[in-house]
Amino acid sequence: MARLLDIVLRATLALAVGANARACQVNNGSKTYEAEDAVLTGTNVDTAQSGFTGTGYVTGFDEGTDKITFTINSDTTKLYDLVIRAGAIYGDKRTSVILNGGASSEVYFPSSTAFADIPAGQVLLNAGANKLDIVSNWGWYLIDSITVTPSAARAAHNINTALVNPSANSITKTLYTYLRSIYGKKILSGQQELSYANWIATQTGKTPAIVAVDLIDYSPSRVERGTVGTSVEEAITHHTRGGMVSVLWHWNAPTGLYDTEENKWWSGFYTRATDFDVSAALSSTTNANYTLLVRDIDAIAVQLKRLQAEGVPVLWRPLHEAEGGWFWWGAKGPEPAKKLYALLYDRLTNYHGLNNLIWVWNSVLPEWYPGDDAVDIVSADVYAQGNGPMSTQYNQLIELGKDKKMIAAAEVGAAPLPDLLEAYQAHWLWFAVWGDSFINNQDWNSLETLKKVYTSDYVLTLDEIQGWQS
Ligand SMILES: *[C@@H]1O[C@H](CO)[C@@H](O)[C@H](O)[C@H]1NC(C)=O
Ligand SMILES: *[C@@H]1O[C@H](CO)[C@@H](O)[C@H](O)[C@H]1NC(C)=O
């Protein structure tokens, strides 16, 4: 979970669509639509930045509701690859793409000095006219045009048969084999926190297959201040009833917590709440802060060993959202984050002998990737309203893992609708909805949607995965 407030604010998007955009027929080939010819709401045409196509580009995304509305005609209902030609001349940006007033996806524009063609995932166009909105989100970028091209059918996946840890224990290998057997055919339902998983059961009659828990309160700098973790017990409870377990760790910085009115000690996993410098700490194995990192890893190993002793294989997702930079482990860029991941992998696997971990990496960008030999599954955390298929991130992760690593939606705000997952061939292995403010929030997940998701044949629930251990 990150940047909750920003996300909620940015998600308050107007879905009204403009009328009378220039219509244009799409056939089997690519079709480009100039932004300056579309319907503009709160945005304007400019020509100051050179390199645009057509007669200009669109800018002025400074309010949350500012947007461009394209009208795209398709001969049949069909999936298309979307490319946005954009200029992120003020630094890294994110935009929201909303199709026909429904599912929204988030597209990342890397900082650039010129216009560039940025892959923006896929859109399932209906036969006839479709509306595609590009809405502010972070704003402050230039849009030159969009291009849609009918998607090729997804090639068969080529997933590694073995886990990266050659000593992985039997139950963990069995889980991995099971996951491979369903990948591309079904999605596992998942929920952050046991209590919300049980709440879903009362609402939909179905219990999530996966419960995700957080080792946050076992972080030594929290324990020192009186926290008592209970998430290991929650994980064991769900395992005992035949479920699967995913574990993340909001690692409270080992030291250097500001503990001020704005940044309390318990928010010490945020970059803004600590001056702990991960790069400096990792610069030598003898400095005091390196020792503290190892102390913390050893404390977490104690908890993971309790799970191992109970026969619980763990979808283990440490250093999540590193690329965002909002957590201290990502605050100094990719190199220290990867170094810390390598330390974690080595210490937990080779020193502590933890053989019940399936290693889940949780950033999309290639420069952050720790390497094929320490990652079993790649994943992303996606907070976009509309219960869409998140195909942008799925396709990025196919590239990242070369389609040899399965792909998970490890944290989402909105449970993806199964018919969209299938139409987009977005073969996420699982989704896990975040807890408070998301699973129980109508703006993110209406009860009707949750029922649709949880009763779908495509979505595996706790009752449907029974027996995976054998
Ligand atoms: C693709 O579109 C062109 C122009 O509309 C058409 O002539 C051609 O037959 C189409 N090809 C296929 C394989 O559909
Ligand atoms: C360890 O980190 C703390 C918090 O950032 C810092 O104040 C301290 O100087 C660091 N210690 C060393 C030996 O670098």
CA distance 285 to 274: 21
How far does residue 289's CA lie from ligand 1's centre (Å)?
64
How far does residue 107's CA lie from ligand 2's centre (Å)?
37
> How buried is residue 94: exposed, middle or buried, by Cβ count under 10 Å (0-12/13-18/19+)?
middle
Give the ligand whose atoms come closest to the C-alpha of residue 271: 2
User: What would the DSSP string read from start to end of 237-287?
Assistant: HHHHTT-EEEEE-----SS-B---SSS-GGGTTBGGGB---HHHHTT-SSS
State pTM to two decimals.
0.81
Catalytic pick among 34, 106, 193, 411: 411
Give the ligand whose atoms come closest to the C-alpha of residue 275: 2
Q: 240 CB contacts (<8 Å, ≥6 apart)?
A: none
CA distance 389 to 386: 9
pLDDT digits (tens, 9 = 90+) for 96-122: 999 999 878 889 999 999 999 999 988
28 C-beta closer than 6 A to ligand 1: yes
pLDDT at 1 (0 to 100): 59
How far does residue 330's CA lie from ligand 1's centre (Å)?
48
pLDDT digits (tens, 9 = 90+) for 2-55: 544 333 333 332 222 222 233 344 445 899 999 999 999 999 999 999 999 999
pLDDT at 323 (0 to 100): 98
How far does residue 289's CA lie from ligand 2's centre (Å)?
6
Q: Can 411 be counted among the known catalytic residues?
A: yes
Can you say whether residue 302 is alpha, beta or left, with left for phi > 0 and alpha for psi between -120 and 50 degrees? alpha
Confidence label for 86 from pLDDT (cuts 50, 70 and 90):
very high
- Secondary structure of residue 327 in the 3-state scheme: strand
Residue 93, H or E segment: strand 93-99
Domains located in the chain, CATH noted: 3-150 (2.60.120.260), 170-464 (3.20.20.80)
pLDDT digits (tens, 9 = 90+) for 423-451: 899 999 999 999 999 999 999 999 999 99
Catalytic pick among 34, 106, 193, 321: 321
Residue 97, H or E segment: strand 93-99
CA distance 439 to 432: 10
CA distance 178 to 191: 19
Which residues have any ligand 2 atom within 6 Å of their CB? Answer: 255-256, 275-277, 280, 287-289
30 C-beta closer than 6 A to ligand 1: no
CA distance 363 to 341: 12
In the DSSP assignment, the letter for residue 386 is: S
**Neighbouring C-alpha atoms within 13 Å toward the C-beta of 355:** 10
Q: Can 321 be counted among the known catalytic residues?
A: yes
